[in-house]
Structure 1
């Protein structure tokens, strides 16, 4: 979404329009959008992106349509300071949101920022509130928005990476959704009969062996690894290396029986009990999924929970839910 906001902003400037870039820099209480969320408003009221549930957008659009983009320098504004304003602007629980309104110019460097992000770079953009000029520099793999009234620093680019083992049908659905979730997706499959037909936009395909790929990628705590081939010769190679890394999620497709056998095999690769305990398998949450698109949603729901630090109850996990069904002898588990 952020990239689309930036790309539209750059295009509007190129076409001779004025544009206002709006960035969430701080929130208090509940807020519909996180810090760093962006909205672009064109001088005729067209918009791209979101900074709230809609009411703040409406106010900003009305302001631009009534008065145009008058300002020449960035300014900070707050919405929802009072309970009445919080209700008016759709901020729940009396929340407050602070925004930076930035009139874009050539000095904003939006086209350069778009080019850097589209090439897969992680970039820090620092905006000078006094002049409106911005400069770019390489960033570390970290989230964060820093605003001290004098400058605004934002991070742009693929902050999370995902390695998918296998280029089969399920991988196509999973990777398409993962790209939309802002992952930098790499698909590893040495089998040419699969890779020759791979054409999912926004992903990178590699034909190296999975263990080599894991080591080459130097996985960190912002990485997820998902093995989907059903072939132990490929999946196990990736898992035995991935479980030794700080990756926040490592999972493998397969039945409960296959995953139990996989864990036994992985013990032969000198993995510790703590490392083996990190393996998610059967992968995904239990939603009764049967088709590849449904299985992809199930897997990415579990990945998202892990990414956000949410511990899922056992009944939502595939193994726990199916075991409970067998014990109960029915087709439902507490409504799941």
Structure 2
């Protein structure tokens, strides 16, 4: 779940606890060039306050009006479609004749939303299935490869923790990598036990931890929504972190270093309790090959590779000089 939809969930829970009537709209299908992807959320309070977006601002005003005057008085989820015709698409400002199909829930269940929020805070994935004939939800364990389903009977979707990047090292490259990761909607944790980096990275929304990297990784729990990037260039720190990261479910593990140093690192790691299959998960030298030379350019290359792996996009072979 990205930070925007997580904010929607938190707002809906807060408003319901305060006693407000709240409707939740979910993008369930798009045609053409729709601005927001399937699964995007919008929470609408009875007084017109909103959190989130389903169209980037194109249809929200009309949807708020319909929720206030019609939908909140009902008990069951309702399908709302915008942009069926070119005229209507133009009226609502949907680009290229895009169309949105939304499921609007006028009576979301507070207990269910609280359970989803708790699951996310525990870095777990939860699947919610809504019975459209009753509006009731059931929760079950979800998986990273779950697919969104919406038909005449149910809507089934999964909610998981935010994508997270753990950076080993608090140097200049880590600073740029952390900034780009934040801009890409990752939760960011920086680990560095060295005294010369005792003050860490002074950035809002970045958590700095001073323990030994392998210990901290075990402490925070590395899941399938976590990328671990080792950027200290110090084998004593990077290798210890990599040994734990490569045994974890992390979707990406990468380490800074030349091709020669990467070969040496892999040989060292094989002397410990790593298997060849675990070692094959290591991305090194880290980052897409784009000819990057400066710290910000290398950080861009790192984020590009992490994002490609996140979306299961094949990465090109790297060139070595």
What TM-score, normalized to structure 2? Answer: 0.75
* 1:260 alignment counterpart: 259
Instruction: Classify 1:135/1:286 alpha carbon distance in 2 versus 1 (closer, same or farther; 3 Å).
Output: same
* 1:44 alignment counterpart: 47
1:9-67, Cα deviation, whole Å (9 max, x unpaired): 12222223211100011223432221111111111222111111321222212324555
Supply the distance in 2 between the matched residues of 1:273 and 1:38 (Cα, whole angstroms).
Answer: 39
* 2:82 alignment counterpart: 79
1:245-324 → structure 2 map (5 Å cutoff)? 248-253=251-256, 258-269=257-268, 270=270, 279-281=283-285, 283=287, 290=294, 296-297=299-300, 299-310=302-313
Q: 1:121 aligns with which of 115, 120, 124?
A: 124
Q: 1:112 aligns with which of 105, 112, 115?
A: 115
Supply the distance in 1 between the matched residues of 2:108 and 2:281 (Cα, whole angstroms).
Answer: 52
Tell me how large the CA RMSD over aligned residues is.
Answer: 4.0
1:217-236 → structure 2 map (5 Å cutoff)? 220=224, 222-236=225-239
1:150-172, Cα deviation, whole Å (9 max, x unpaired): 22222112164433222446545
Q: 2:19 aligns with which of 16, 32, 35?
A: 16
Gaps spanning 5+ residues in structure 2: where?
Answer: none
How many residues get paired? 312
1:179-216, Cα deviation, whole Å (9 max, x unpaired): 664546554445466467578647584734549948x9
- Determine whether 1:27 maps to 2:26: no
Gaps spanning 5+ residues in structure 1: where?
Answer: 324-336
Instruction: Classify 1:287/1:309 alpha carbon distance in 2 versus 1 (closer, same or farther; 3 Å).
Output: same
Instruction: Classify 1:15/1:180 alpha carbon distance in 2 versus 1 (closer, same or farther; 3 Å).
Output: farther
Supply the distance in 1 between the matched residues of 2:291 and 2:37 (Cα, whole angstroms).
Answer: 28
Q: Secondary structure at the match of 1:109?
A: helix
